[in-house]
Structure 1
């Protein structure tokens, strides 16, 4: 399976979850290392765009294509089991606890979660501490300039 991650160029090689741990996000608390990826390039872009404006639009983003072997088991979160308002901003601490428990348990390397940005699409969270993490490879990194019409 291929998943995608949009990253600033200088962090593209740092495939470790440390960036997410600095502030915490929807699926992790501050201090919990986790890697966020998306099922498509478009979703990866949408997940980043909700945090940007034309004034802060970076020029140095790259799209990472990541290969997850079919042999790696994926745990799925059923959106119907999530707490009310799970997708509101700022993130709900209950969704952060789900991601933290996923990392701590190390039962699965991949957690499939619904996107809060694009209803019906999914993100794939990667546990960098799971034994199968070493099997996951970045297969391509390409420049990804944003089209400035997005903010017009």
Structure 2
């Protein structure tokens, strides 16, 4: 499977999940490292767009392409198992607890979760401390210019 992430240039080769560990996110609490990825370039773009103020075009972003071997153990969180507010903003603590438990249990290297931004699409979260995480290969890092029309007021 191929997954993608958009990252600032300084962190383009960092797959440690440290950013999510420091800041927390929809699917993890502060202190829990997770590597967030998307199933498509378009979903990556949308995920950045919803977190960027209108009128500001993001610069110095790189598209990271990762190859995840089909043999790696993945789990999935189906939408019907989530609380009704799972995609609200700000995100609920309940989704963070799901990601935290995923990391703590350590059974799977990856977790497929629904995108809160694009209905029907998915993000893949990876536990960088899982024993099989090293099998995920960074295939390519390339500069990613955003189309300014996405950010016009």
Q: TM-score over 0.5 for the alignment?
A: yes
CA RMSD in angstroms, aligned pairs only: 0.9
Q: Which runs of 5+ in 1 are unaligned?
A: none
Classify the secondary structure of the residue corresponding to 1:131: coil
Q: Given the alignment of the two structures, is residue 69 of structure 1 paired with residue 91 of structure 2, yes or no? A: no
**Contact 1:54–1:148 at 8 Å: present in 2 too?**
no
The alpha-carbon deviation at position 84 of structure 1 amounts to 1.2
The alpha-carbon deviation at position 58 of structure 1 amounts to 2.5
Change (3 A) 1:82 1:111: same
Q: For 1:48 and 1:118, locate their aligned partners in 2 and report how far apart those are by CA, in whole Å.
A: 12
Residue in structure 2 matched with residue 14 of structure 1 by the alignment? 14
Residue correspondence of structure 1 range 2-151 to structure 2 within 5 A: 2-151=2-151
The alpha-carbon deviation at position 151 of structure 1 amounts to 1.9
Classify the secondary structure of the residue corresponding to 1:141: strand
For this pair of structures, how many residues does the alignment match? 152
The alpha-carbon deviation at position 56 of structure 1 amounts to 3.8
Q: Which runs of 5+ in 2 are unaligned?
A: none
Classify the secondary structure of the residue corresponding to 1:88: coil
